[in-house]
Structure 1
Amino acid sequence: MTGPLSTPLVDPGDELTPGELSRYARHLTLEQVGLTGQRRLKNARVLVVGAGGLGSPALQYLAAAGVGTLGIVDDDTVDVTNLQRQVIHGVGSVGTLKVDSAADAVARINPLVTVERHAVRLDADSVVDLVAGYDLVLDGADNFATRYLVSDACTLTSTPCVWGSVLRFEGRVSVFCSGPSHDGVTYRDLHPDPPPPGLVPSCAAGGVVGAVPGTIGALMGTEAVKLITGCGTPLYGRLLLHDGLAMTFRELRVSVDSDAPPVTGVRDMTQACGVPGHPTVAPGDLAARMRAGAVLVDVRDDWERDIVSIPGAVAVPLADLEERGAAALPAVARGSDVVFHCKSGARSAQAMDAVASHFAAREENAAHLDGGILAWVRQVQPGAATY
């Protein structure tokens, strides 16, 4: 491939020490990398957005490859539910900041790598300056709002971005690059607008097989090495789709949307990417609503209720509500206000849609629990099990 993305992103750094020559010997024997390519890796600054399912393998392989400086962005702490797929963390890291846990893992793999920790949530005020300090970005974010922020910041700074996403048994990966000197494909060409709120479930709601982020994150690491050293053909303008159930890979072309307005700044997309605007009940207000006669309806699956439940809730699976509407509600919920809840709020919003016509014709009200049972645990019942 010719063009900006076949040119090495990074100039060679200092000569390799004897210890580095030994450590990176398998790279040095590769014609496409060699001494000069390894010095480029040594001099590279790579920002990894998210120390979760995708960031875990990417960070480990980039550290092992000898990338000189790794920036890690994540404001979350390690939870036991992360361990099924976020393999950079272990049991001993539960409760600690992910950036700290990931930095410790990087140091165990390769103490020659410098780690810059950014325990922050990216926003429109900070993202451009942060991205501008790095040669390359790996976007492993788990939400649409952050992906748009990262994409627009990369466009404004002409920083290439390796992007990946996963859900259930499927994964996607591509390379984006655009800016004043290179009118190229970006995340906005793939997704010009965010999907309707609630249409695409998060991994928390939809699930993900733990090894799939490993596959996609490793591919992201490979693309990063190629871009830094200038070897091979990067996934620029190509979307690689992986189906873990069928164990297939296929490729789609992505073209620049010539009618799209230019990116002149970044803005917060949180509201546009949120859940539908239904009436909500704050976790701290739920008990009072129930004492006033509201019926709490749990739309989760049986196994989820076995982990943690809110006292007094009645179980009505979402599938029943979507199939039968308000007829699926138990007698105790008829003629009463109803508050639906799920794990985090997405499925309870879908439940609201399923019964909307019923409540529109009645005096009773329907709402759903803001943030689901996870928010209820944090605010009302700290220490209860989560998942």
Structure 2
Amino acid sequence: MNDRYVRQTVLPEVGDAGQARLAGASVLIVGAGGLGCPVMQYLAGAGVGRLAIVDHDVVEETNLHRQPLYTMSDIGKPKVEVARVALQRFNPGLQIEVHAERLTPQNAARLVAGADVAIDAADSFAVTYILSDACQAAAKPLVSASVIGMTGYAGAFCGGGPSYRAVFPEVSVDGSTCATVGVLGTAVAVLGGLQAHLALHLLLGLVPTVLGRVVTFDARRLAFGGFGFAGSPEPDAFVPFIAPDAVTTDDLVVDLRSLEEAPASPFARARRLDVETVTSLATPLPSRRVVLCCRSGQRALMAADRLRERGIANLALVALG
């Protein structure tokens, strides 16, 4: 056994057998940003044999206070490529596979199929639901986290436990993001480190399982909390996310972004409404599929809930990024 792991193999919860399990494991990491950096570093440090990293973004200077895997010289470079070089330099024995693309409804199932555990580190509503749907269908565990400001959570879903949709069928519509509200780098590091720990817990098969549990963290009060959700029922029906190129000319497309936010819509015949006025579509009830679009998917999810309450069930969502 490699001496680099001796300080963890001495643990009875790991041992040589556990280290061998980690070496043979594959983890999908979606998001190479603030949450993804500690996830990647700690899983690579623990000796997880294969890491598949998905992120379409490039390094920006505003990332550096919470993404210490990157440096000033990396600005403008694809995050996944910089991460691959850094991780292979850190632990050359690992297989690092990178995908410089967004997670989409088209590629999610394929990416999840090759993983033992999937990690949602993208902090995106659309990615979380798309990844949860793919993991639920493939019976693969999902570790998801989110941090805004100085608070956040991490939890373990699917893989025999309830899906993210079972626990969070609805979302807030306040639209807060790291760019608008801000985020403290150390709060992100705590939650990203917790994600890595949850993944190792699952890969090692420790008991009791972390599936069906959420841990919350308030960095202002230095308080941890959480709750269990084992046994939560799956929703009878849900509105799926689709890719922009899956929208057809027969669809009634609604762009929920304001003209100030997005002067031009990628859909030529899109109607411009917001979450408050989208219920006008219910009079009369449309005969074709309604596709709701916004930047992150958050407003689309809220609008879909309002339309379903008014009897419109043929719906789809698009996150335009």
TM bracket, shorter-chain basis? 0.7 to 0.9
For residue 157 of structure 1, the aligned residue among 130, 135, 138 is 138
User: In the TM superposition, what whole-angstrom CA distance separates every residue of 1:283-306 from its partner, at most 9, and x where no partner exists?
Assistant: 79xxxxxxxxxxxxxxxxxxxxxx
- What is the deviation of 1:106? 0.7
Please give the residue correspondences for 1:209-288 in structure 2 after superposition, counting only pairs within 5 Å.
209-258=184-233, 260-261=235-236, 267-268=241-242, 276-280=256-260
Q: Which residue of 1 aligns with 2:166?
A: 189
8 Å CA contact retained: 1:162, 1:175: yes
The CA distance in 1 between the partners of 2:201 and 2:69, in whole Å, is: 23
Change (3 A) 1:259 1:36: closer
1:208 equivalent to 2:188? Answer no
The CA distance in 1 between the partners of 2:67 and 2:231, in whole Å, is: 33
The CA distance in 2 between the partners of 1:75 and 1:240, in whole Å, is: 28
Change (3 A) 1:28 1:128: same
Q: Which residue of 2 aligns with 1:175?
A: 156
User: In the TM superposition, what whole-angstrom CA distance separates every residue of 1:223-258 from its partner, at most 9, and x where no partner exists?
Assistant: 111111112434322211100000010122225443
2:137 partner letter: L
The CA distance in 1 between the partners of 2:73 and 2:135, in whole Å, is: 35
1:134 partner letter: A
Please give the residue correspondences for 1:1-387 in structure 2 after superposition, counting only pairs within 5 Å.
16=1, 20=2, 22-178=3-159, 182=160, 184-196=161-173, 199-258=174-233, 260-261=235-236, 267-268=241-242, 276-280=256-260
8 Å CA contact retained: 2:106, 2:243: no
Change (3 A) 1:29 1:275: farther
Change (3 A) 1:262 1:66: farther
8 Å CA contact retained: 1:145, 1:268: no
Change (3 A) 1:246 1:63: same
Unpaired stretches in structure 1, ≥5 consecutive residues: 1-15, 285-344, 350-370, 376-387
The CA distance in 2 between the partners of 1:41 and 1:85, in whole Å, is: 27
Q: Which residue of 1 aligns with 2:304?
A: none
1:193 partner letter: E
User: In the TM superposition, what whole-angstrom CA distance separates every residue of 1:282-332 from its partner, at most 9, and x where no partner exists?
Assistant: 579xxxxxxxxxxxxxxxxxxxxxxxxxxxxxxxxxxxxxxxxxxxxxxxx
8 Å CA contact retained: 2:146, 2:153: yes
Normalising by structure 2, we get a TM-score of 0.75
- What is the deviation of 1:195? 3.2
1:89 partner letter: Y
The CA distance in 2 between the partners of 1:282 and 1:225, in whole Å, is: 41
- What is the deviation of 1:162? 0.8
Change (3 A) 1:151 1:32: same
2:191 partner letter: I
- What is the deviation of 1:27? 1.4
Unpaired stretches in structure 2, ≥5 consecutive residues: 248-253, 265-294, 300-319
Residue identity over aligned pairs, in percent, reads: 36
8 Å CA contact retained: 1:189, 1:255: no
Change (3 A) 1:282 1:161: closer
Change (3 A) 1:255 1:29: closer
The CA distance in 1 between the partners of 2:222 and 2:49, in whole Å, is: 34
Q: Which residue of 1 aligns with 2:287?
A: none
The CA distance in 1 between the partners of 2:198 and 2:8, in whole Å, is: 15
The CA distance in 2 between the partners of 1:212 and 1:275, in whole Å, is: 33
Count of matched residue positions in the alignment of Structure 1 and Structure 2:
262
User: In the TM superposition, what whole-angstrom CA distance separates every residue of 1:152-179 from its partner, at most 9, and x where no partner exists?
Assistant: 010111110111110101120100024x
112-121 or 252-261: bigger deviation: 252-261
The CA distance in 1 between the partners of 2:54 and 2:89, in whole Å, is: 19
Structure in which a larger fraction of residues adopt helix: 1
Q: Secondary structure at the match of 1:24?
A: helix
Q: Secondary structure at the match of 2:129?
A: helix
